[in-house]
Amino acid sequence: MASSPRLIHGFREIASAYDLIFCDIWGVIHNGHRVFDGVADALIAYRRQGGTAVLVSNAPRPAQSVVPQLDRLGLPRECWDAIVTSGDVTRAQIAAVAARKLFHLGPDRDRPLYDGLGIRFADTPEAGEVVVCTGLFDDTTETPETYGDMLAGFKARDVPMICANPDLIVDRGGTIIYCAGALAEAYRAIGGEVAICGKPYQPIYDAAFETAASLRGKQTSSARTLAIGDSVRTDLAGAAAIGCGALFISGGIHALEAGHEGDGVDPEALAAFLADKGVIPDAVMPRLIW
C-alpha cells in the first residue's frame, strides 16, 4: 500500500497499472437491492483494455450460486472473468470433517454450500459435532445476542465452528444486518474454536490467484494486482496481507465514518478514519466508476 491515499475520480486513472483485480461484490458492486451506477461500465472497460476481473466475495455459497443473484440485479456477465467465494474455500474444510455430524447455522439459501459433499446433518444444535456458520437464521430480526445460549451450548461440548463468511455486517439496501462473522466473533469471545476461510485470510487469495492464472495462462504478481473493496477489516487487510494494491470504496460499509458525502469524500474525515484504522490504501473513490 501507499504512504498516503490518492483520491481519484475514476478507475481509469489507475487501471493500466494492474493486470488483475480482485473486486469485492457486496458494497462495491451492489447493496443487495440494486447495482450501483457506473460499476458495470467500469468493470467492462477494464476488461476491454486487457485486465482480468475476478470477483472475490465472502459469500458463504459456491460461486455458481452467486451468479443468479447478480443476474437478477442486472449486472452484465461481461463484467467479470471469474468469481471466487468464501463458500468455495469453505467446502474444502467441510469435506475434511464430513465424517462428523454437522449442524448448519444459517439460512436455507446457503445450503448449496454442501452439495455433493455427502454431509450428515444434525437436526438440533445439541446433536452437532461440528457447526458450519453461514449467517443468522433470520438476519432481518435477529442479532448475535439471540444466539448466546446456543453458542454457550457448543462451547460446553467444545464443538468447533467453521465460519463461511468472515464479514461482521453488511448494508442491505440501507439496512445494516449481521453476518456469520459476527457469530464467529461471539463464539471466539467465549473461547470457542473457529476456523475462517474468506477475506482477509490467505486461502481465498490463493484460490483467486490460481483461478486468474488458469484464465491468463500465467501467474500475476501481487504488484500488478489490485484489491477493490469497501471493508477495512476484510478487503484492505487482505490486500496488505498479500502485498497487492488496494482501492478503497469509501461509500460502502464505512460511508458514515470515512467522510462519504454524496458523490464525494471529505478528505479530512477520510484521513482521520484511515489513521484510526492504521491503513493507507493506494487510492480512494466514493463508488467504483470508470
Q: 67 with 84: CB under 8 angstroms?
A: no
77 is a domain residue:
yes
207 is a domain residue:
no
CA distance 25 to 255: 16
Could you tell me if 97 and 185 lie in one domain? Answer: yes
Q: What pLDDT is stored for residue 13 in this prediction?
A: 98
202 is a domain residue:
no
Could you tell me if 83 and 101 lie in one domain? Answer: no
Nearest Cα residue to 107 out of 177, 56, 189: 177
Q: What pLDDT is stored for residue 5 in this prediction?
A: 79
Q: 144 with 105: CB under 8 angstroms?
A: no
Could you tell me if 192 and 96 lie in one domain? Answer: yes
Looking at the structure of the chain, the number of domains it has is 2
If pLDDT is split at 50, 70 and 90, which confidence band does 170 have?
confident
Burial of 183 (0-12, 13-18, 19+ CB in 10 A): buried
Q: Which of 161, 196, 231 is the last residue of a domain?
A: 196
162 is a domain residue:
yes
**Count of Cβ atoms closer than 10 Å to residue 201 Cβ:** 18
Nearest Cα residue to 233 out of 212, 209, 257, 210: 257
Least confident of 125-129, 171-175, 185-189, 275-279: 171-175
Could you tell me if 31 and 109 lie in one domain? Answer: no
Question: Which CATH number goes with the domain that contains 163?
Answer: 3.40.50.1000
Q: What pLDDT is stored for residue 73 in this prediction?
A: 97
If pLDDT is split at 50, 70 and 90, which confidence band does 4 have?
low
Could you tell me if 49 and 134 lie in one domain? Answer: no
157 is a domain residue:
yes
Could you tell me if 175 and 103 lie in one domain? Answer: yes
Q: What pLDDT is stored for residue 2 in this prediction?
A: 57
Q: What pLDDT is stored for residue 54 in this prediction?
A: 99
* 133, pLDDT greater than 90: yes
Q: What are the two backbone dihedrals, phi and then psi, of residue 209, each rounded to the nearest 5 degrees?
A: -65, -40
If pLDDT is split at 50, 70 and 90, which confidence band does 228 have?
very high
Q: Name residue 142's amino acid.
A: E
63 is a domain residue:
yes
If pLDDT is split at 50, 70 and 90, which confidence band does 68 have?
very high
Provide the CA 10 distance to its chain's centre, in angstroms.
23
Q: How do residues 24-61 score in pLDDT, each as one tens digit?
A: 999 999 999 999 999 999 999 999 999 999 999 999 99
Could you tell me if 80 and 98 lie in one domain? Answer: no
**Count of Cβ atoms closer than 10 Å to residue 13 Cβ:** 14
Q: What pLDDT is stored for residue 255 in this prediction?
A: 86
CA distance 116 to 94: 11
Residue that the C-alpha cell 481465498 belongs to: 204
* 226, pLDDT greater than 80: yes
pLDDT, mean of residues 54-80: 96
Q: SS3 of 35, please? A: strand
Q: What is the overall mean pLDDT for the chain?
A: 94
* 1, pLDDT greater than 70: no
78 is a domain residue:
yes
Could you tell me if 95 and 71 lie in one domain? Answer: no
Could you tell me if 226 and 173 lie in one domain? Answer: no
Q: Which domain holds residue 153?
A: 88-196
